[in-house]
Amino acid sequence: RTADRFREVLAAFDPDAVHFQHVKHLSADLPRLCAERGVASVATLHDFWTICHREQLYRPEGRPCSGPESVEKCAACLRRAREQNGTATETAAGAELGVDAEPTTDGGTAARGGPVVDAVAERDARLRRALAALDRLVAPSRFLGETFAEFGAPAERLVHLRNGIRVDRFDGGAFDPDGPLRVGYAGRITETKGVHLLAEAARRVDGVSLDVFGEFDPESDDYHARLAEAAGERTTFRGWYEARPEPYREVDVLVLPSLWYENSPLVIQEAFASGVPVVTGDAGGMAELVTDGEDGLTFPLGDADALADRLRRLARNPDLVADLREGVEAPKRLADHAEEVSALYGGAVERREEVS
């Protein structure tokens, strides 16, 4: 079992602190095992998985979710998702929720209401206990931290700490005000990333070319196939890129059209490290990173018409593009982030010593 193996590692290594990047596919008991041994524990919250079985607070019908107000609400969401996937059955819900199969070790019980409700309730209880056992929770965006606090995470242990990147790796290309506006997208090509929204907006705007960087396989991926069919002639799918700086050298502006709230997208920081402004949705961690009119533009989340309007403004006004590029500031350096995290460990160890 994961818990037994983790106990062995703790005993052999005897750390002062453990930093979790995720417990998905591991065990929700791991922070508690640290606490039992008197070891400080820190977790970076990269997404909403701990409070949302879909990870992104994004409902199966295609809209953002306001959060896990009740077990029944989350169970209904799970049922809806399973119906869409053709697995509408009341069995094996726990595995689909990403909860480890180990028995509850501290007497926790799930509410009775059928297998799906029971599984959701047990997941919620186990992960709330995991959050409560942690000495520090790192939220890369204020939005994510506030959302976790609203739904039960210990607010006094939440720390807002923006991620850092290897700024020295990035260098942007030159901007030609007399040429067409070169729009880019970089990252995973999935429906919740809203790449179809961007392709539709680019198709409507004259004087724009769109390059989509990311693994693209329309022969085996249904979303990719639909995207390839719907995209206009202005869109080029560039495929996987091994060199992280590559997309930013070839675009005038980056667009992140995600349909969910996002946390703290590294592609925005990579674009800024390259001197490239960003157009993105006006919600979640995306809106925290981009200041409308200074280093990019924002638009209402999921609104293709509004995104097309922003691209049209940029295509017709190269001076605006130039101004936004001048307004971009370099993001936090990875070395600075490492120093902040190191200091965070000290506070986590102090707290663990106080409560042990």
- Reported as a single tens digit per residue, the pLDDT across 207-226 is 999 999 999 999 999 999 99
Are residues 156 and 198 both part of a single domain? no
Q: What's the number of domains the chain is made of?
A: 2
Q: Is the pLDDT of residue 264 over 90?
A: yes
| Same domain as 143, residue 40 | yes
Provide the domain limits for residue 30. 2-164+336-355
Does 201 lie in the same domain as 150?
no
Better pLDDT: 108 or 229: 229
Q: Which CATH number characterizes residue 277's domain?
A: 3.40.50.2000
Mean pLDDT of the chain: 91
Judge if 74 and 175 occupy the same domain. Answer: no
Residue 91's pLDDT is 42
CATH of the domain at 160: 3.40.50
189 and 83 together in one domain: no
Mean pLDDT over residues 75-97, rounded? 69
Query: Are 159 and 178 contained in the same domain?
Result: no
> pLDDT tens digits, residue range 60-70?
999 999 999 99
Instruction: Indicate whether 157 and 192 sit together in one domain.
Output: no
Two tokens, residue 7 = 């106990």
**Whole-prediction pTM value?**
0.89
Helix 195-204 with 222-230: angle, nearest 10 deg = 10
* Residue 133 confidence (pLDDT): 96
Q: Is the pLDDT assigned to residue 111 strictly greater than 70? A: no
Residues 75, 169: Cα–Cα separation, whole Å? 44
Task: Compute the CA torsion angle 113, 116, 119, 121 (nearest 10 deg).
Answer: -50
- Are 149 and 186 in a shared domain? no
Q: Does the structure show a pLDDT above 80 at 108?
A: no
The pLDDT score that the predictor gives to residue 97 is: 59
130 and 197 share one domain:
no
Residue 103 has pLDDT above 50, yes or no: no
Q: Could you tell me the pLDDT band of residue 113, with boundaries at 50, 70 and 90?
A: low
Q: What share of the chain is helix, strand, coil (3-state, %, to 5)?
A: 45, 15, 40
Over range 249-265, report the average pLDDT: 96
- Among 5-19, 83-97, 101-115, the minimum mean pLDDT is found in 101-115
Q: Are residues 14 and 145 in the same domain?
A: yes
Asked if 157 and 172 sit in the same domain, the reply is no
Same domain assignment for residues 186 and 229: yes
* C-alpha–C-alpha distance, residues 306 and 104, integer Å: 48
Task: Let me know if 220 is exposed, middle or buried by CB neighbors in 10 A (0-12, 13-18, 19+).
Answer: exposed
17-36, pLDDT tens digit by residue? Answer: 999 999 998 999 999 999 99
Is the pLDDT confidence value at 89 over 60?
A: no
pLDDT digits (tens, 9 = 90+) for 145-201: 999 999 999 999 999 999 999 999 999 889 999 999 999 999 999 999 999 999 999
